[in-house]
Amino acid sequence: MTASFPVRLLPRRAATDALSRPVPPPGAGRWRAAVPHLATLAALLLVAALHLGAWWAWNRPAAPPEFRGPVAGLAFAPYRRGQSAESDRWPSAAEIEADLRLIAPLTRRIRTYSVQQGLERIPAIAAAAGLDLRVTLGAWLDGRTARDRAEIARLVETARHSRNVDRLLVGNEAVLRGDLTPAQLIARIAEVRRAGVRQPISTAEPWHVWLDHPELGAAVDFVTIHLLPYWEGVPVADALRYVLDRYQAVAARFPGKPIVIGEVGWPSNGVEIGEARASRVDQAAFLRGFFVEAERRGLDYYVMEAFDQPWKVSFEGRAAGHWGMFDLDRAPKWPLAGPVWETPDWPAWAAGATLSAFLAGLFFLARRPDIRLAGKLLLAALVQLSVTGTALTLLAMSETYLSLAAGIVWGLLVAGQLLLLALLLSDSFELAETVFGRRWKRRWPALPAPAGAKLPKVSIHLPICNEPPAMVARTLDALAALDYPDFEVLVVDNNTRDPALWEPVERHCARLGPRFRFFHLGRWPGYKAGALNFALRATAPDAAIVGVLDSDYVVAPDWLRRMVPFFDDPKVGFTQNPQDYRDAGESPFKRMMYWEYAGFFRCGMVTRNERNAIVQHGTMTLIRRTALEAAGGWAEWCICEDSELGLRLMRQGWEAVYVPESLGRGLMPDDFAAYRKQRHRWAYGAMQIVKAHLGALLNPFRRELTRGQRWHFVMGWMPWIGDALGLVFVVLGLAWSAGLVFAMPWAEAALGGLAHALGLAPAAAPVRLGVRFEFPILLFMLPSLGLFAFKLFQILVLYAARVPCGWRDRIGAAVAGLALTHTIGKAVIAGLFTRRMPFLRTPKMESAPALVQGLAMARQELALLLLLWGAALGVALVHGTATWEAVLWCAILLAQSVPYAAAVAVSLVAALPAVRRAVPVAGAGATAARAKVGTAVALGGDAS
């Protein structure tokens, strides 16, 4: 093949894989070569320093009041990892003794809650170990008569035979829970008293229960109150005053009665309640301040509690597992004197996050040293933020007690975080190199071959199915006008049953001359790929290049003359021009679509071309015939046979050439349903391709694809997988919101009333939902909002830098893209779990739908939009906006609703009547009048 003009492609491994090797800077000299790398290191070091400084500032130690001890008393529940009061795994005698020895230097008194499951041995074990510990022995009552009587009997027996038991507690918050009425509890206390025990007797309830039921005071020897300001939503700064005020109120209500604080404390972890925040520092500040004041006033108290008890989380919430002064592994959380850190080992976490982000940023920026300093700083900062978010999630995970089920949930959430990290890294790199890159290696001018140059024969394949004849005729007329010496056009119609659609096309081909051949296949397998494979077999023997067009494309006369010369390089397997459209001015809806399409072809494809990783699409493409035949033709199993072929050709080592200049324009979908159907097909086909080529895409030891190609194909489809996960999270978010709204005390009361009315539960028995719903951990909410905000920022910045449209069109393109989120998510899920779907042809040249039809097109999105808004309103009404968790959860629900609102809005815009006059759109070329369907159109001239 004789070269018609100079075309130089760099060697494949050197030219196509910028992720494998740095781009050499222009010019000579070591200094000039080192400057980009010095700027990279400077940017990374600056961000690293700022990051370490932020960790240092955030983790300044607190200095609460110091206390020298001892602590008056501790609530003692010796359950260890995997043990609980609700399972058949209970502490052994050796484990109980070890826990008693651990706390003995800290206090001289403990209180227990039950005398079942071996806990009745606690007094005897303490005595046998020679520990000077006084025991306030508790019996757990829950309203089940037989069980309560067994508990009381064992309480009495243990009290009679234990010299170190000095007080008895009959029941713990039984009235608060509704397990017993005050009268029933008084009867249980009287039963213990009649048994002739020598120890004073009481019961334990929160302070307000004693004030509401003063008759309890007459039945006990001392009043035992619980003072837990965290559950009341009191800020830690006011908590000590709150405790002392409530103590005084109870003391005034029961003059002469000894007052014992049965539980006082603060959790080190958990959700915010009102203005109360659960943290290690707040726990230390409250308890150390309380110890000092309690010693000064001579208060009798028990700290809630000695050891963390994560088994309580399922019914009391996350904070219930973190009230201990020791963690579950028996390590003290903070000292009684000296500074207190929220995260004592923060330097290790900070160093790990800084180093990981530094290496990740260096990996990317070393591959593109030509990125301007602003881009380097942006990328370094985004990488650091994303890595830090993941580190903080892992840190929170390390501080959470995980059961097997909880571990699985956290593992899935961390996997989601890692996916978000990968998406952010990919998008950040694309943003930096697209906007701030100064050099592009693989950009070539598509210069037309000079007149008289020897050019190879091209066979252009035009598959059609149920297409409007007038539209196809215009495409054929444009092909007939090509300024190219040797080409043929094969029109292959398959699966069109109506002769009124295919016979006019056949006649038109006959009029255009012998270059145009028409084939009607009738029922034919393989959909579009089947038609293209037929065309390949029917191609003229001397044709060296195969071109493929969609049936609605009007090509420029110099398309072949400008693109075919790239095949002079024997490494080139196919070329590609962008998809472009000529009907953008017909309606606001089509204008939105036009610019939404433009973003990928003006930004994404240009960036992918730098690493020979473009996506081949089945129009405006030219393919070397030998490469196509060697690859086995078109994949009839894949709904996106064009993209699959492009990846297959790259696996075989062929180069691709992308020229971002429009040399042909087609028609866009006419309504939102068609727009959505088209994207569904693309996303479904992408998942088919991923499954078929998974090894080549993910296995780093297979050399069929370069690292740059693997990167772009995997990360290019990752946002669509993210949309699928987003759909899953929407469903889970709605379910979780239902739990947040309905799993509340008033909901339990309502369910109880209904159950009692239907006779499903005894009148006195409480009805409990059994699961406590809390807001997800803050660290799992923030990345979702952050990624959503970044995606919008990325779209607007990329469009401003590379797409020639105004800000209104940028917003319109972003809204149009968001409107497809639900459709893409469904397609990805279907593509991952099914093998085939019917080929859904994108309908064109159809009338715009009515307003009601516009809403009907987006009925799924409308339903989910209303559900998300309703969930946000319900959470706001039930939980208010007093905590960050509530505010962020509502914000997430509203953010999740944005794509659904966009879908409804775009569907309504699409329902607006089309503008019948041409509306100029920059970059769209001449606006074509809509082609008319029907046999009455004069097929020999321009459709109008």
At 197, list the tokens: 């025990």
At 24, list the tokens: 């050499």
CA separation for the pair 726, 864 (Å, rounded): 13
Residue 482 lies in a domain: yes
Does one domain contain both 203 and 140?
Answer: yes
Place of tokens 């539980």: 263
Does one domain contain both 407 and 502?
Answer: no
Per-residue model confidence as pLDDT tens digits over 132-141: 999 999 999 9
Amino acid, res. 134: R
Average of pLDDT values for 765-787? 61
Does one domain contain both 317 and 423?
Answer: no
Q: What is the 3-state secondary structure (H, E, C) of 125-189?
A: HHHHCCCCCEEEEEECCCCCHHHHHHHHHHHHHHHHCCCCEEEEEEEECHHHHCCCCHHHHHHHH
pLDDT, residue 773, reads 66
Distances (CA, A) of 408 to 397, 415, 517, 723, 739: 12, 10, 60, 22, 20
Burial class (CB in 10 A: 0-12, 13-18, 19+), 917: exposed
Does one domain contain both 241 and 291?
Answer: yes
DSSP symbol at 227? E
Q: What is the largest CA-CA distance in the chain?
A: 120
- CATH code where residue 249 lies: 3.20.20.80
Q: What DSSP element (H or E) covers 238?
A: helix 236-253
Per-residue model confidence as pLDDT tens digits over 205-259: 999 999 999 999 999 999 999 999 999 999 999 999 999 999 999 999 999 999 9
Residue 761 lies in a domain: yes
Least confident of 467-481, 653-667, 722-736: 722-736
Least confident of 366-370, 472-476, 637-641: 366-370
Does one domain contain both 291 and 430?
Answer: no
Residue 713 lies in a domain: no
Does one domain contain both 283 and 405?
Answer: no
Q: For residue 307, what are the β-bridge partners?
A: 326
CA separation for the pair 256, 860 (Å, rounded): 67
Residue 543 lies in a domain: yes
Report the b/e string of 259-285 with b at 16+ CB within 10 A: bbbbbbbbbbbbbbbeebbbbbbbbbb
pLDDT, residue 274, reads 83
Phi, psi of 491 (to 5 degrees): -100, 120
Average pLDDT score over the chain: 86
- CATH code where residue 523 lies: 3.90.550.10
- In the chain, the percentage of residues whose pLDDT exceeds 70 is 86
Amino acid, res. 708: G
Q: Does 16 have pLDDT greater than 50?
A: no
Least confident of 140-144, 726-730, 789-793: 789-793
pLDDT, residue 443, reads 85
Distances (CA, A) of 284 to 244, 264, 291, 296, 315: 18, 13, 10, 18, 25
Residue 604 lies in a domain: yes
For the CA atoms of the chain, what is the radius of gyration? Answer: 37
Per-residue model confidence as pLDDT tens digits over 167-212: 999 999 999 999 999 999 999 999 999 999 999 999 999 999 999 9
Segments in 839-883 forming alpha helices (H): 851-857, 859-879
Residues 6+ apart with CB under 8 A from 534: 492, 494, 519, 521, 524
Distances (CA, A) of 738 to 307, 733, 742, 874, 885: 33, 8, 6, 8, 16
Number of domains in the chain: 4
CA separation for the pair 9, 575 (Å, rounded): 13
Per-residue model confidence as pLDDT tens digits over 143-179: 999 999 999 999 999 999 999 999 999 999 999 999 9
pLDDT, residue 239, reads 97
Does one domain contain both 306 and 418?
Answer: no
| pTM of this prediction exceeds 0.85 | no
Q: Give the Cβ contact number of residue 292 at 10 Å.
A: 16
Does one domain contain both 287 and 394?
Answer: no
Last residue of a domain, one of 367, 401, 436: 436
Residue 32 lies in a domain: yes
Q: Does 775 have pLDDT greater than 80?
A: no
Residue 866 lies in a domain: yes
Last residue of a domain, one of 604, 637, 668: 668
Residue 260 lies in a domain: yes
Q: What DSSP element (H or E) covers 259?
A: strand 259-264
CA separation for the pair 65, 288 (Å, rounded): 6
Q: Which domain holds residue 515?
A: 457-668
Place of tokens 């207190």: 340
pLDDT, residue 779, reads 61
At 897, list the tokens: 């609703």
Does one domain contain both 742 and 803?
Answer: yes
Average of pLDDT values for 894-907? 93
In degrees, rounded to 5, the angle at the alpha carbon of residue 729 between the alpha carbons of residues 727 and 730 is 65
β-pairing verdict for 223-227 and 572-576: unpaired
Burial class (CB in 10 A: 0-12, 13-18, 19+), 563: buried
Does one domain contain both 472 and 582?
Answer: yes
Does one domain contain both 38 and 128?
Answer: no
Does one domain contain both 381 and 505?
Answer: no
